[in-house]
Amino acid sequence: MEIEIAKSAGFCFGVERAVATVYEQLKQGRPIYTYGPIVHNEEVVRELEERVVKVITDENALSEITPEENAIVIIRAHGVSEKVYNMTT
């Protein structure tokens, strides 16, 4: 079997932007959460977790982030519902 990699292989624009946003925000030194895994790539998610980026998966966890924590919440590349989005703004 022959395997060829397309010239344009890699992350799509949305995934690339989401991952870049997390890395850029890490420079702030604030706690960072992603709502759901930032991308569907276990290796990337694992590396970010090693850098103390926490994944939250439901509205209850989102509502437990306090203003005093001064955290950053980043929405995953695939988006969230309008209700969840409004909770993060």
How many C-beta atoms lie closer than 10 Å to residue 4's C-beta? 6
- pLDDT one-digit tens code per residue, 70-85: 999 998 877 788 888 8
Which residues, including other chains, have CB under 8 Å from residue 63's CB and lie 6 or more apart? 87
**N residues, the chain:** 89
- pLDDT one-digit tens code per residue, 15-73: 888 899 999 999 999 999 999 898 888 999 999 999 999 999 888 898 889 999 999 99
Distance of alpha carbon 47 from alpha carbon 7, whole angstroms: 25
